[in-house]
Amino acid sequence: MISIRYHNLLNKQIKKFLTEEQLADESIQHFLEVVNNSYASFERDKKISDHAFSISEKEYQEVTRDLQDQHDIQLQSIFKLKNAIRSLDPLYDIHFSESGAADMISVISFLEEQIKKTKALEVELIHAKEVAEQAAKAKADFLSVMSHEIRTPLNAIIGIAHLLSEDEKLSAQVENLQVLGFAADNLFNLINDILDFSKIDEGKILFSEKSIDIRRLITRIKAANRIRAEERGNILKLIIDEDLPAYIKGDDVRLGQVLNNLISNAVKFTANGTITIEVLLHRLLEDQVEVYFSVTDSGIGIEPGKQQLIFERFTQANAEITREFGGSGLGLAITKKLLNMQHSEIHVESEPGKGSKFHFLLRFKSADADAAKSTMLPEKGKGNLNGIRILLVEDVEFNVFVAEKMLKNWEAVVDIADNGLKAVEKARSNEYDIILMDLQMPVMDGYTASRCIRDQNTAIPIIALTASSSVDIQEKVYDFGMTDYLSKPFNPDELFDTIYKYTTRQ
Amino acid sequence: MKIAQTQFFDDRWRTGSIPDGFDFQKAQLVLAFGHPALVTDASLFGHIRSLFPGAAIVSSSTAGEILQENVHDNSLVVTAIQFDKTRVQCRVSNIKRHSSSYTTGVHLMKALAEEGDDLIAVFIISDGTHINGSELVSGFSENNPKCVPVTGGLAGDGARFSRTFAGLDLVPEEGNVVAVGFYGDNLKIGHGSFGGWDEFGPERTITRSDKNILFEIDGKNALDLYKEYLGPYREELPGSALLFPLSIREPDSTEHLVRTILSINEQEKSMLFAGNMPEGSKIRLMKANFDRLINGSSTAAKNSFGSLENSSPELALLVSCVGRKLILQERTDEEVQAVKQIFGDHTSLAGFYSYGEISPFNPNTRCELHNQTMTITTFSES
């Protein structure tokens, strides 16, 4: 009897090799049991292994397929990269094989080379940029320093010309003095242009808010340009809108600079013609006034293609103009920038041979009447500073000479200190109504001196005299306790007004 | 060193081997490895206590007992050791008294170290279901500056993976960890651990796991992958998963450890392993081969001579994995016989089938938790 519980193969083997008699033996049966279990185990293990390996095989097929796909993509990418490189650098083709895959290394080397080249170029460019920036800065610094240096002696020239014109003189000297005055003024304007431009470039411009008698300001500008206009046979006309308020609030110096620029340009480029200045109220806003300004001439005009170019620095409509008419080439650039900084835009309309018209709209704050009154000043004249005690602190002799003469002309009492330390001593022992304080001096500078004086006397007005009107200096002046400042070379009118304003308060 | 052994099965105590001069009163250490029902039987424990009144009795439930060259189920194997010069100190603690398996390990190792500077080896018997074996062994490694060998195993529960017991001087309980410390220069210790499994299939990466719970491999569900590989045997999970343990290489490590499945969770589609499965680890499936498993046991035995060189040890404690037994089935005896053949007749063999083996990879390195290996610790006294 063969038991059916045995493994199929074992059953066959039993049938073939064992007799019934042997099968009946208990020990043989036990043996067969053990053998059968082993068969079953092997069978089971084989089944599991076969199944696992078929799954594993499937997984490997997937992996292989993925790899093949990736390989194909890689080959295509390399092919495209190679084509791109060939079109960039046909000579590099020699590094590539026909087949492809190994070319990845060549492609990477090529890219590496390109990156190295780009890096080197970048370093060079950065270096070049730094050099250029340094050069530009050096140039600007040089211009700025030279302009300051030139302004100090110019201060004396302008001052002396002014004094001479007030003296008794021979008629032959009158013309000479006028020429001297114009030459000095021109030089002064050129230098101011250069200084202004570097200040604008560095963003160091602040706009003040003073009450301006706009009619008086414009009349003065017109008057200042009258002589030159007449010299060139031009007629200057001024149209002022009746509706314009008497006072507005703004920066009179900068407005004057803009209008002066436009008018002097108009005068310069017009001969035997008419220059019309128009100042109109554009509109009244809640607390603002918008004013329309225009300067129209009947001069040479500007070609349409050059009309925007003239606002670039150092550019005039053409080189001959520079030769014929002179100028720094900065005037219009400064004008445009000054207006831009006040959110205004300058416009030009022009036809060659017929003339040009420059115009812009500018907003001012409305001025209240009281504030306006307080700045109303008397016309200066002999004796108007009678008895005012002034301490002038200044170390440059010809500045002292010019200032002293002006002040004495107005009959002020002038005392001089040639450095800060002496000024402190004098302020302690004497009584003054006002102190005019230079900033750069030997022994003790004007800042320190002002602070020392302020420790003892909080009331006395101290006016800084500075060759630079940059924002930094202005702030520093107030930080050290000074009351106000005047730019050198000082305009006699401004000097008078400032002294008058601070000494006649009570 | 003198070793006496006896066994309880088929409802009675068998005549054991008792060497000349063995003194029951003086035996310091008794190891009792048995079926969960037998090892937790109070009257059997009382019998052992009465036989060896002065000994520390260390008990463990098993998935099969090893006595000399034979493997038994449903028995209780008792091995009593009388050392000539070596001191033995035992400590027990329960996972409930600690915040983690790790701190349990730290606590026990510290307790043993405090008993003397001459600690030369530690043997651990631990619960096999409540304890995270990987963390337990790293706790033991934390304060082991001299790298004394730490070996042992996790208690078993047949192929049921349900309740496991360990104990010291009391009827064993769940959650216990027992640490046996050996002190003195006279004891020579050796250890060897080897699997004999073959890796197959592509290398994969663990992409989602939480300690010893595995969720995803290469972004795919791990349980689904196993089911696919098991094919017709998927119904026999988790037992059938023992057929495919995992070879795992943790990130930044070069050592390959073997990890085996303890249970599965169909709702979460997760698998619980007998050791940590850190994310980012590289794994490959493993497959058994009868003859290689048996040869693996020989290799473990050969590696376990330690400083003894060619002279056979007096005692060899065998901790083998339940997974091997489930594969080898009626051939399980052969892997123990292979060990016996290496050591010869003068070495006493005792041991059990466990849920995790503890042993360093190499002498003077930190101990690791293994799965699917034959792990052998040898003892000789000079």
Cross-chain Cβ contact B290/A45 below 8 Å? yes
**Collapsing DSSP states into helix, strand and coil, what is residue B98?**
coil
Cross-chain Cβ contact A37/B230 below 8 Å? no
Per the CB < 8 A criterion, the answer to whether B111 and B91 are in contact is yes
Shortest CB distance from A51 goes to which of B231, B288, B330?
B231
Q: pLDDT, tens digit, for every residue of A91-127?
A: 777 777 766 667 788 888 888 988 999 999 999 999 9
Cross-chain Cβ contact A59/B232 below 8 Å? no
Same domain, A67 and A114: no
Cross-chain Cβ contact B233/A48 below 8 Å? yes
**Collapsing DSSP states into helix, strand and coil, what is residue A203?**
coil
- Whether the CB of B292 is below 8 Å from some CB of chain A: the reply is no
> Taking the domains of chain B in order of start, what are their residue ranges?
2-194+291-381, 198-287
Per the CB < 8 A criterion, the answer to whether B350 and B77 are in contact is yes
- Boundary (domain end) residue, out of A347, A374, A401: A374
Mean pLDDT over the full length of chain B: 92
pLDDT at A378 over 90: no
Per the CB < 8 A criterion, the answer to whether A335 and A262 are in contact is yes
Same domain, A33 and A67: yes
Alpha helices (H) along A89-208: 103-166, 171-201
Closest alpha carbon to A498 in A481, A486, A480, A482: A486
Rounded distance between C-alpha atoms, residue A471 and residue A474, angstroms? 5
**Chain A nearest C-alpha distance from B271 (Å):** 19
Residue A132 domain-assigned? yes
| Chain B environment of A47 (Cβ under 8 Å) | 232
Q: Could you tell me what percent of chain A has a pLDDT over 90?
A: 23
Closest alpha carbon to B165 in B59, B317, B75, B55: B59
Same domain, A407 and A352: no
Q: Which pLDDT value is given to residue A374?
A: 47
pLDDT at A497 over 60: yes
Best residue in B229, B244, B328 for a mutation probing chain A (most A CBs within 10 Å): B229
Residue A46 domain-assigned? yes
Q: pLDDT, tens digit, for every residue of A10-36?
A: 999 999 999 999 988 999 999 998 899
Within its chain, how far is the Cα of B206 from the centroid?
Answer: 26
A308 φψ region: left (φ > 0), alpha (ψ -120 to 50), beta (else): alpha
Q: How many other β-carbons are positioned within 10 Å of the β-carbon of residue A77?
A: 13
In eight-state DSSP terms, residue B159 is B
Strand partners, B89: B181
Shortest CB distance from B287 goes to which of A38, A49, A63?
A49
Q: Could you tell me what percent of chain A has a pLDDT over 70?
A: 88
- Whether the CB of A459 is below 8 Å from some CB of chain B: the reply is no
**pLDDT tier for residue A384 given thresholds of 50, 70 and 90:** confident
- Whether the CB of B290 is below 8 Å from some CB of chain A: the reply is yes
Rounded distance between C-alpha atoms, residue A452 and residue A462, angstroms? 12
Closest alpha carbon to B101 in B323, B279, B356, B374: B356
Cross-chain Cβ contact A41/B330 below 8 Å? yes
Which of A187-191, A210-214, B277-281, B313-317 is predicted with the least confidence, judged by mean pLDDT?
A187-191
Q: Which pLDDT value is given to residue B76?
A: 97
- Boundary (domain end) residue, out of A147, A172, A198: A198
- Boundary (domain end) residue, out of A312, A341, A374: A374
Same domain, A224 and A369: yes
Closest alpha carbon to B133 in B95, B190, B182: B95
Rounded distance between C-alpha atoms, residue A250 and residue A211, angstroms? 6
Same domain, A430 and A472: yes
Q: pLDDT, tens digit, for every residue of A314-357?
A: 555 555 555 555 566 678 888 888 899 889 999 999 999 899 99
Q: Which pLDDT value is given to residue B294?
A: 94
Rounded distance between C-alpha atoms, residue B355 and residue B60, angstroms? 11
**The dihedral formed by the CA atoms of A215, A218, A223 and A229, expressed in degrees to the nearest 10:** -140
Closest alpha carbon to B324 in B368, B276, B290: B290
pLDDT at A372 over 50: no
Same domain, A139 and A271: no
Per the CB < 8 A criterion, the answer to whether B340 and B348 are in contact is no
Residue A39 domain-assigned? yes
pLDDT at A5 over 80: no
Q: A420-429 and A446-456 are packed helices; what angle lies between their axes, rounded to 10 degrees?
A: 20
Residue span of the structural domain in which A419 resides: 389-503
Q: Which pLDDT value is given to residue A439?
A: 86
**pLDDT tier for residue A487 given thresholds of 50, 70 and 90:** confident
- Residue A414 tokens read as 């002038």
Within its chain, how far is the Cα of A216 from the centroid?
Answer: 33
Rounded distance between C-alpha atoms, residue A462 and residue A499, angstroms? 10
Cross-chain Cβ contact A53/B200 below 8 Å? yes
For chain A, how many residues are written? 506
Rounded distance between C-alpha atoms, residue A318 and residue A324, angstroms? 10
Q: pLDDT, tens digit, for every residue of B121-176?
A: 999 999 998 999 999 999 999 989 888 999 999 999 998 888 999 999 999 999 99
Cross-chain Cβ contact A45/B329 below 8 Å? no
Cross-chain Cβ contact B329/A37 below 8 Å? yes
Q: pLDDT, tens digit, for every residue of B10-62?
A: 999 998 899 999 999 999 999 999 999 999 999 999 999 999 999 999 999 99
Same domain, A420 and A494: yes
Those residues whose C-beta lies under 8 Å from the C-beta of residue B258, and which sit 6 or more positions away, are B195, B197, B245, B246, B247, B248, B286, B370, B371, B372, B373
**Chain B nearest C-alpha distance from A2 (Å):** 23
Same domain, A193 and A337: no
Q: Which pLDDT value is given to residue A506?
A: 41
Same domain, A246 and A368: yes
Cross-chain Cβ contact A45/B201 below 8 Å? no
Same domain, A343 and A400: no
- CATH number where A127 lies: 1.10.287.130
Rounded distance between C-alpha atoms, residue B361 and residue B363, angstroms? 7
- Whether the CB of A47 is below 8 Å from some CB of chain B: the reply is yes
Same domain, A247 and A310: yes
Best residue in A35, A36, A42, A45 for a mutation probing chain B (most B CBs within 10 Å): A45
| Chain B environment of A48 (Cβ under 8 Å) | 230-231, 233, 243
Q: CA of B116: how far to CAs of A139, B88, B104, B110, in Å?
A: 86, 11, 20, 11
| Chain B environment of A50 (Cβ under 8 Å) | none
Of A324 and B197, the one with more pLDDT: B197
Q: What is the mean pLDDT of residues A262-289?
A: 90
Q: pLDDT, tens digit, for every residue of A217-227?
A: 888 888 878 88
- Whether the CB of A56 is below 8 Å from some CB of chain B: the reply is yes
φ/ψ (deg, to 5) at A17: -110, -20
**pLDDT tier for residue A473 given thresholds of 50, 70 and 90:** confident
Cross-chain Cβ contact A55/B243 below 8 Å? no
| Chain A environment of B243 (Cβ under 8 Å) | 48
Q: pLDDT, tens digit, for every residue of A433-461?
A: 999 998 888 888 889 999 999 888 888 89
Per the CB < 8 A criterion, the answer to whether A264 and A229 are in contact is no
- CATH number where A446 lies: 3.40.50.2300
Residue A82 domain-assigned? no
| Chain B environment of A38 (Cβ under 8 Å) | 330-331
Rounded distance between C-alpha atoms, residue B59 and residue B352, angstroms? 11
Residue A247 domain-assigned? yes
Best residue in B204, B242, B287 for a mutation probing chain A (most A CBs within 10 Å): B287
**pLDDT tier for residue B193 given thresholds of 50, 70 and 90:** very high
- In chain B, what are the helix, strand and coil shares in percent, each to the nearest 5? 25, 40, 35
Mean pLDDT over the full length of chain A: 82
The kind and range of the H/E element at B93 are strand B87-94
Question: Up-side HSE of residue A393: CA atoms within 13 Å toward CB?
Answer: 33
Q: CA of A260: how far to CAs of A221, A226, A334, B158, in Å?
A: 6, 11, 12, 109
| Chain B environment of A61 (Cβ under 8 Å) | none
* ipTM, 2 dp: 0.70
- CATH number where A265 lies: 3.30.565.10
- Residue B42 tokens read as 């109070």
Looking at the structure of chain A, the number of domains it has is 4
Shortest CB distance from A55 goes to which of B229, B288, B330?
B229
Q: What is the mean pLDDT of residues A275-287?
A: 91
Q: What is the mean pLDDT of residues A364-386?
A: 61
**Chain A nearest C-alpha distance from B342 (Å):** 25
- Whether the CB of A52 is below 8 Å from some CB of chain B: the reply is yes
Q: Which pLDDT value is given to residue B143?
A: 85
Residue A79 domain-assigned? no
Rounded distance between C-alpha atoms, residue A84 and residue A289, angstroms? 63
Q: Which pLDDT value is given to residue A381?
A: 53
Q: Could you tell me what percent of chain B has a pLDDT over 70?
A: 99
**Chain B nearest C-alpha distance from A1 (Å):** 25
Q: How many other β-carbons are positioned within 10 Å of the β-carbon of residue B143?
A: 12
Best residue in B225, B243, B334 for a mutation probing chain A (most A CBs within 10 Å): B243
The kind and range of the H/E element at A52 are helix A26-88
The kind and range of the H/E element at A49 are helix A26-88
Same domain, A260 and A357: yes
pLDDT at A83 over 80: yes
